[in-house]
Structures are given as C-alpha cells and as structure tokens.
Amino acid sequence: MSPNTSHPIIGRSPGLRRALDHARRVAPFDLPVLIHGETGTGKEGLAHYIHGASDRYGNLVPVNCADLSETLVSSELFGHERGAFTGADRQHRGFFEQAHRGTLFLDEIGDLPRGAQARLLRTLQEGTIRRLGGTAEIRVDVRVVAATHKDLPAMVRDGTFREDLYHRIAGMVIELPRLGDRASDVLLLADHFFRTEPSLRGRKLSPGARRVLLARDWPGNIRELRRFLIRAAILEDGPITLGADDIDAGDQVVRLLHRPKSSGELRRETGMARSTLNRMLLSLEQAGRIVRTGDGRATAWSAT
C-alpha cells in the first residue's frame, strides 16, 4: 500500500485507511504536513509514503529532533562553516541542504528547543538558511513533514512551542491510530514481520498464539509487536505459542473433569506425558480451577 517498499504501510483498518487517504491527497502538493500519533505507530513510514507519492526528486532526510543537543541543533539543521566553533575543522552541510529538492522529516518536533524553533520558522518563511559562522543566504527547496506524539496545541497554550511555527508546519494534520484500535491489522503486521525479519523467517505462530496477539492492547504499538515476536522466537523452539498452547491444554483438562477422574484416565484421554500432565494439574490446582480428592493411588481430580 506504500510506494516505498522499504517502508511498507500494512493494514486495512478504517483509521489507517483514512490516514493513508489524507496522505495520498496531500502528497502532490508542497503543503507542510504534521503527523500525530503515539510512539511506534509508524509515523516515519507515513512520511516516506508522502514523499514517495510526491513529485519531489530529492532525498527524504529523517531527523529525530529529540536526539539533537541544544548546543548543536542549529549546526545540525542549518550547517556550519569551518572555524564556526571549537572542533569545526571543516564545512558541514546541514539537514536542510541535504534535503534540497526533497523532503525533510522532522520527527518528534515537539522536542525541538525553543531557540531552534525561531530559526526553523525563519527558514520556512524565507526559504533560505545561513550556516553557523557564515554570512551567505543559501536558498533551499525543502518540503517539511513533521511528526510528534505530543499535544502541540497544548504546548502552544503553555508557551513551550511557538504558535506561529505550529501553524507553519500544520498545513495538514494527519492522525495515525494506535495499534490497539487496529485489531484487524495485528495479524497482517505479524505475518509481515514473519516474512521480513531474519529471526522470524521459517517460523510460524500456533493458532493459540494468534489469539494471544489479538487479545493484547499493544501500548507500544507496531514497535512493541515486532519486539514481542522476535523475543518469543528467541525463547521458543518450533511453532511460536506465546504460552497459548498451555492455556488451551489447561482448558481441555478442565472440560474433561466435569466428573472426577484419575491421572491415568486423563493421560489416556489427553495423550499427555505423565510429567506434563502432573505439571498441568498442579498449575490448575494452584489457580483454583480444579480440586483433588483422596490421596496416593486413589487420587482423583474434578473441576471446581
């Protein structure tokens, strides 16, 4: 669904389709775009979608504003001349020059220091930059796509984000839904990771594991889902169960105990090994789902 195959956008949920429709409509225009969504929802992927569907033939240059130190943010964004400050032993082209005739993706723009916000606003208004330590005005043709998980209008009200800059970057605001609101997309994303992640290739999910994925809320969104699957693949051998098969087996044992039965009867009916069944019975007893009667060879089990 994305013109950039290295950043595919996976999903069919209404919220995602609405975001993609807005991105498709705004892409051919040089209008600045602000993408809002929780961490891990795929904001950079949507920026690549917009850039790939546009007519801009320069590069998309991603910048994480949260990683820019306050002392070097101007140098990183606008560049510097040799000798501009201690350690500046050569000229440096900043991110704006690198994105000339392309797209500059300013991720986590809500973390941009206040002083840098003023310089960014000037560049967006004038279409020029001045390298730190330089005097020449350099014209840059850059389309800005910004992204944040923060409430920028609230930051404007409390004075931590410039109102004029907000209106400059929010030509169109696109909301990306959280994964917890995209239940129909969870398995599509999981299947995508099983095709593309080296540690997941050749592995598969058990039917019970797929139910586990659908039942989770995913507060960390797509990023959490990817980490969750990779960790499970490392810890489990064979089909990845996510513990669901143990739950399914326990439910099966409880259903069979509609009347008291011995361990031997349960082994014959479930096909479980003695040690596996004994662990299962102890776990179910501790959970209060079954009780035992008698002792020793006369022990029987029944559901509570």
> For the chain, what is the total number of helices (H) and then of strands (E)?
13, 9
Q: What confidence score (pLDDT) does residue 154 get?
A: 98
Q: What confidence score (pLDDT) does residue 246 get?
A: 60
Q: What angle do CA 60, 26, 20 make, to 5 degrees?
A: 85
CB 36 within 8 A of CB 147: yes
Q: What confidence score (pLDDT) does residue 278 get?
A: 83
Chain mean position to CA 37:
10
Q: What confidence score (pLDDT) does residue 248 get?
A: 62
Strands 128-129 and 33-36: unpaired
Residue 198 CB coordination number (10 Å): 7
Q: What confidence score (pLDDT) does residue 66 get?
A: 92
Q: What confidence score (pLDDT) does residue 1 get?
A: 39
Question: Cα–Cα distance between 45 and 8 in angstroms, integer?
Answer: 7
Q: What confidence score (pLDDT) does residue 297 get?
A: 63
CB 9 within 8 A of CB 192: no
Read off the pTM.
0.78
Q: What angle do CA 243, 244, 245 make, to 5 degrees?
A: 95
Q: Which residues are paired to 132 by β-bridges?
A: 80
Residues ≥6 apart with Cβ < 8 Å to 22 = 172, 174
Q: Which residues are paired to 148 by β-bridges?
A: 36
Q: What are the per-10-residue average pLDDT scores of the chain (304 residues)?
A: 59 96 96 97 96 95 91 88 83 94 97 92 94 91 97 97 97 96 94 94 88 86 94 87 67 80 82 76 79 75 85
